A and B are shown apart, each in its own frame.
Chain A
Amino acid sequence: MRKLMFTLLAGAVALCGAAPVLGADSDTVQEIVNKASAAAYYRGKDGKAKVSMSIVDGRGRERSREFTIIRSDIGDEDNGDQRFYVFFNRPADVNRTAFMVWKNVDRDDDRWLYLPALDLVKRIAASDERTSFVGSHFFYEDVSGRGPTEDTHVLVEETENYFIVESTPKDPDAVEFSSYKNWIHKETFIPVKTEYYDASEDAYRTYSAVRVEVVGGYPTVMEARIEDQRIGGATTLYYNDVEYDIALPEDIFSERYLRNPPRRYLR
């Protein structure tokens, strides 16, 4: 109900073309969201992180994943096209499996999977972005970022620490939520918490940034967590050995390096 009030209020404010209550109009909301997306997914021109993932299911059973992820922003442009390369180490049955994404802003992403035992480079359909990434509670979209223009954003509140932004999808059929609310840290624009709501406005899924460090001058989320009440359990992601601006050559994101991993950049 409170959420609805905020929405109505913010809508009224936007209609009046002024923003006396919340101090922002829709343009600045979009700017906030753009900055948040850039802060979360576009730091530096490129970057590398070793990631360990702890997946705990609804019955308390834990599974883990370990992988290295490298990223490059095309043209060093925030919220533009990106390339990702993910190299798995653990569990043992996916050791040396590589996954590559060309994230495209204006069309579906291109994805490839390399299965080393078969020497097979498989092209994967750009499926639903809100599908589990490697069996975790994180979706593909949580790892590579949701496009800032895919939702309509309303700044519902501003606190000392946060811009609180509520977002509703422009294409509701493409997503499982009816809206989500984002607590964006005002100083760093890091999204600290994101809550997803279903049609009856109940929160069922929560992202939280648990720990932040400054790496190479950029505030960086080093530990993040997603809890999902629909499927039960939670996944915690630990980023280790984060580095930015490592001068990645663009050809790393090609079939060549799927077949023979770029060891130098995976160390």
Chain B
Amino acid sequence: MWRRGRIFVAAALILGANGAFAQEPPLPVGLGGAISSDAEASEAEATGDEEPALPAGLGRPQGGGLSDKTSKRSSRRGSDDRRSGHGPVVELAPLTGFLEGRVGPRLRGDAHQGAFSLAEARLRLETEAAFGAVALRVVGDGVFDSVVKDRTPDLETGEGAFDLRELNIVWRPTDFADLKVGRQVLTWGVGDLIFINDLFPKDFQSFFIGRDAEYLKAPSDAARLSLFNDVVNVDLVYTPRFDPDRFINGSRLSYFNPVAGVIVGRNAVLEPETPDDWFNDDEFAARAYRQVGAFEAALYGYIGYFKGPTGLNASGAFFFPRLRVYGASARGPFAGGIVTAEFGRYISADDPDGSNPAIPNGSIRYLAGFEREIAQNFTASIQYYGETRTDHAAFVAAAPPGGAAQRTRHLTTLRLTRQAFNQNLTLSLLNFWSPNEYDGHVRLRASYKVDDAWLVEGGGNFFYGPRNDALFSQLKDNTNLFVAVRRSF
């Protein structure tokens, strides 16, 4: 039956293409105007206006008005009816990915680093297979890295010739639950590159040397159970073995070492004591969220460790102090843009009274942001972020003279994004700046989609500020530019 419909459509297409109705908009294929050509031609003359001929498919096919001759399955490419089969079938997604080269020279001499902070070729392969309510997903990167030359894959730090980004199973056991188990990237919270309640691992090395933005998120080896209902949705994430950040350790980027009191690099690669006992050194994160009108509201909790080696123990080794966090966030439309707010209470569990200067004090962290389009294809966003010690007096009393920074660190961000040439060119500027510690970080990016497969990108990461020990200014010798070429497939 649908075969006949197709023939009809084809005939209408051919007739419609004759241009017999130059004055009228042609009826589209399927409205059948093509067939009653005489009537329309005279109609067109009569009106004298540039009216479209009925497109194929509209109009009066011989034998009456519109009918459902054309089966719903008739399409340009045809289709197979997978639903007519019985039982679940394995659906294998095609292998996709990209191949890229990325090079980043340093702009300042650094005695403890090479000339490049980035020089690598990367092959991404990913696929997934679905079987009924279960889906298996694999994403991995083969890397040839000329900066850190150890080829032995380390799946925790991502260094070496292979980085496993994802290997997980998603199972939808019931209508109200999703379970995702295995290696996966996890993100929540409302900050733009500022994370308060998102305590999933980050890769700050990738972030500062000019890898693609996706590499800021390091993978977790975790189980995520999501429960959905009309009152509140809940996410529970269990990480059986602590997943630290891929933090700055000196191997790629130089940093301020508070013990040595100077900026160090490969001469002093940080090797902290990392909790790594399965099911004992674990992490637990939870989120409850729901929509409140046009706003999204969420509550968060976390039990685990500081994600960077911010503690110094009695034997002089850096370690990951225990951490508990609770917090909340909200996000929604306001004044033609999106407003965000997030809050978190960090409880430094190994330093409950805040009197140990070798362990981070507890803190309250908070942010507010606003983003809107200020012109077509031009978006601006601003954020304020603050971090206030909860036991500042105890900290100051115990800290060595001159060792206690201000109680609150203020940080602002400004992001400008401009798209041009049919959105194929994206220019972006992002500045982090602390109004009371005066350090900052500028990120410039320009990327151009040459076609559907090829992307070229360039940019720079600039660090500034007067102090050697502030968050961004300690990185100032790492200021770099980068270029990349990527072919996706």
Q: Which residues of A are interface residues toward B (Cβ below 8 A)?
A: 2, 50, 52, 55, 57, 61, 63-64, 90-93, 95, 107-108, 110, 115, 117-121, 123-128, 131-132, 134-136, 157, 159-162, 164, 183, 185, 187-188, 190, 192-193, 208-217, 219, 221-223, 231, 238-243, 251, 254-256, 259-260, 263, 267
Contact = CB atoms under 8 A, between A and B. Distances in A.
Interface string B265-278: 00000000000000
Given A125-B338, A215-B72, A242-B72, A2 B49 contact: yes
A112 B33 CA distance: 41
B451 A61 contact: yes
Q: In the complex, which of the residues B55, B135, B188, B451 has the most CB atoms of chain A within 10 Å of its own CB atom?
A: B55
A254 to B, nearest CB: 8
Contact of B28 (A134, A210, A231): A210
B46 to A, nearest CB: 8
Contacts of A115: 214
B422 A132 contact: yes
B18 interface: no
A61 to B, nearest CB: 7
A4 to B, nearest CB: 13
Given A118-B214, A260-B178, A267-B82, A160 B336 contact: no
Contact of A214 (B68, B79, B165, B289): B68
Given A119-B184, A162-B25, A164-B49, 14 more contacts: A123-B190, A125-B336, A127-B379, A136-B422, A159-B46, A160-B40, A162-B51, A187-B65, A192-B25, A192-B28, A222-B57, A242-B72, A260-B178, A263-B91
Nearest to A61: B451
B20 interface: no
B51 A183 contact: yes
Interface stretch (B251-259, B356-364, B370-378): B370-378
Contact of A126 (B28, B76, B336): B336
A213 B453 contact: no
A108 B56 contact: no
Contact of B455 (A93, A159, A217): A93
Given A208-B25, A214-B69, A118 B216 contact: yes
B296 interface: yes
B301 interface: no
Given A188-B31, A260-B172, A222 B216 contact: no
A120 B28 CA distance: 41
A157 B24 CA distance: 13
Nearest to B76: A238
B333 A211 contact: no
Interface residues of B, number: 91
B98 interface: yes
A192 B52 contact: yes
A213 B336 CA distance: 39
B28 A131 contact: no
A212 B29 contact: yes
B22 to A, nearest CB: 13
Contacts of B55: 192, 208-212
Interface of B: 5, 9, 13, 24-25, 27-31, 33, 39-40, 43, 46-47, 49, 51-52, 54-59, 65-70, 72-77, 79, 82-83, 91, 96-98, 130, 135, 165, 170, 172, 178, 180, 184-188, 190, 213-214, 216-217, 226, 228, 233, 289, 294, 296, 331-333, 336-338, 340, 371-373, 376-377, 379, 422-424, 449, 451-453, 455, 486, 488-489
Given A125-B336, A128-B376, A215 B453 contact: no
Contacts of A2: 49
Contacts of B40: 160-161
A258 B76 CA distance: 28
A256 B186 contact: no
A211 B43 CA distance: 21
B56 A212 contact: yes
A256 B488 contact: no
Contact of B52 (A125, A193, A239): A193
Contact of A215 (B70, B97, B449): B70
Given A93-B488, A208-B55, A223-B29, A119 B187 contact: yes
A208 B52 contact: yes
B338 to A, nearest CB: 5
4 closest pairs, A vs B, by CB?
Answer: A212-B57, A212-B30, A211-B29, A117-B214
A125 B98 contact: no
B49 A118 contact: no
